[in-house]
């Protein structure tokens, strides 16, 4: 009996060692699902840059693959399943609309790790979510827009009525109104993340309606190009879009996923990966510690004084000296938002994550 046990243990040990050896020899496989083309020069482009950062960091120890232009919703299930079937160790699904598909596939492949961007559902132990506090950048845009607009009309191209987009509209408008109560925001919904034709048409319409600053929450630089052609100002989104609007570009909110992606792949490699929810802003901890997921790039086309003011605001948001959405904040009906009514100093993360209401100052209704 004892001999048997020893033998079995020995055999098992050898087998385990073999598995470990094989695991070390086998590179970690990392998959990406993209909502747009890699060449969108916006959102997807930045995720792909982070994929390249993973390759840079780990060299031959990783193999990365991606699938671009994957539609949100049910069709994404097939794309994610294909990735899991192909033996990926970790799969990054990089759009809000992949939330349910990611969780669905994750249930079928418990050994694969899933990282879903901008969502909040983690139905299985192998699903993590992560997002960036882009609204910190919106606050800075609100200040710049308030002091730059001459027509007091701002055009805002929104994508889908989801919390992330509504949060951006609220953060922008709150700061805008603080510095320029007469300024108004007109919102056009593109109902798409990446549709250059629609984005350009939206920018054209907003400018025709009198807007002299364009804010976008869509992925292509088309709106920036239209702003340049029409001689108005615009903010870049996701990537540094200054080269598309040499005279129009004010500042871009740039997504910076590199550091998070490298961390997570490292965690898979040393087996320390676990389900988590990560939300970095300008800094990792919101108190000045480490480069976060949000950067502001290429301030320009504004007076030096305003640029200095904007950068000072950026610094205080990064250090945590100031919160992006401090109380008091009213809803559209003029009542204090719940967090503020309960005496909080600023809106809570829960309120921000699930935001489904406009704050005071935003006109119109959220499409349902």
Partner 1 sequence: MADLTYWLALVVTILNYATPLLIAAIGVLIVEKSGVLNLGVEGMMIVGAMVGYIAGSYLDTSSCALMGFDGVTCLQWEGTLTIPGYIASFLLAGLAGAALASLFAVMTQMFGANHVATGLGLTILGLTVTNGFGPDAKDMRVESVANLLPDSWVALPTVGRLLGTDLLTVLAFLSAVAALYFLNRTRVGMLVRAAGENHYAAHALGYHVRLIRVGTILFGGFMAGVAGAYISLVQLEAPTWREGMTAGAGWLALALILFSTWRPLRVVLGALLFGLAFSLELRLQSLEWMPSWGVQFVLPSLPYLVPVLVLVIISRNAAMIRANQPGSLAQPFNPSS
By CB under 8 A, name the binding residues for partner 1: 37-41, 45, 161, 186, 188-189, 191, 196-197, 200-206, 208-210, 220-226, 228-231, 244, 364-365, 367-368
Nearer residue to partner 1 within complex by CB, 174 or 216: 216
In the chain, % helix, strand, coil (3-state, to 5) comes to: 45, 20, 35
Least separation in angstroms between CB 215 and partner 1: 15
Residues ≥6 apart with Cβ < 8 Å to 25: none
334 exposed, middle or buried (CB, 10 Å; 0-12, 13-18, 19+)?
A: exposed
Nearer residue to partner 1 within complex by CB, 210 or 289: 210
Least separation in angstroms between CB 289 and partner 1: 33
Q: Report the run of H or E that residue 32 belongs to, with start and end.
A: strand 28-33
Least separation in angstroms between CB 225 and partner 1: 3
Nearer residue to partner 1 within complex by CB, 146 or 202: 202
Cα torsion 189, 191, 194, 199 to 10°: value is -30
Least separation in angstroms between CB 366 and partner 1: 8
Nearer residue to partner 1 within complex by CB, 127 or 254: 254
Least separation in angstroms between CB 311 and partner 1: 28
Distance CA 195, CA 37 (A): 11
Q: What is the DSSP letter of 346?
A: B
Nearer residue to partner 1 within complex by CB, 111 or 368: 368
Distance between start and end Cα atoms, the chain: 69
List phi, psi (to 5°) of 211: -70, 140
């Amino acid at each position: 009996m004892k001999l048997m046990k020893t033998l079995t243990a020995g055999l098992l040990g050898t087998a385990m060692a073999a598995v470990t050896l094989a695991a070390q020899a086998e590179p970690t496989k990392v998959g990406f699902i993209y909502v747009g083309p890699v060449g969108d020069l916006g959102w997807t482009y930045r995720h792909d840059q982070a994929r390249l950062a993973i390759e840079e960091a780990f060299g031959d120890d990783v193999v990365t693959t991606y699938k671009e232009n994957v539609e949100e919703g049910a069709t994404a299930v097939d794309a994610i399943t294909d990735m899991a079937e192909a033996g990926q160790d970790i799969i990054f699904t990089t759009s809000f609309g992949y939330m349910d598909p990611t969780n669905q596939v994750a249930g079928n492949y418990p050994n694969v790790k899933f990282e879903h961007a901008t969502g909040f559902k983690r139905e299985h132990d192998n699903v993590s979510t992560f997002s960036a506090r882009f609204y910190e950048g919106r606050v800075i845009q609100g200040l710049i827009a308030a002091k730059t607009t001459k027509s007091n009309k701002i055009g805002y191209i929104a994508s889908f009525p989801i919390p992330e987009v509504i949060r951006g509209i609220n953060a922008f408008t709150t700061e805008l109104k603080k510095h320029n109560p007469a300024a108004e925001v007109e919102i056009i919904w593109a109902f798409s993340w990446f549709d250059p034709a629609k984005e350009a048409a939206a920018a054209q319409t907003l400018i025709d309606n009198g807007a002299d600053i364009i804010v976008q929450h869509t992925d292509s630089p088309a709106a920036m190009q239209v702003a340049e052609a029409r001689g108005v100002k615009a903010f870049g989104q996701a990537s540094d879009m200054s080269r598309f609007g040499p005279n129009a570009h004010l500042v871009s909110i740039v997504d910076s996923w590199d550091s998070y992606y490298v961390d997570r792949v490292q965690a898979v490699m040393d087996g320390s990966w676990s389900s988590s929810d990560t939300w970095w802003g300008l800094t990792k901890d919101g108190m000045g510690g480490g480069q976060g997921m949000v950067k502001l790039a290429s301030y320009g086309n504004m007076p030096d004084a305003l640029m200095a003011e904007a950068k000072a605001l950026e610094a205080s948001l990064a250090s945590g000296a100031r919160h992006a959405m401090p109380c008091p904040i009213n809803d559209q009906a003029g009542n204090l938002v719940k967090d503020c009514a309960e005496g909080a100093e600023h809106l809570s993360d829960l309120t921000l994550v699930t935001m489904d209401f406009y704050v005071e100052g935003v006109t119109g209704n959220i499409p349902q």
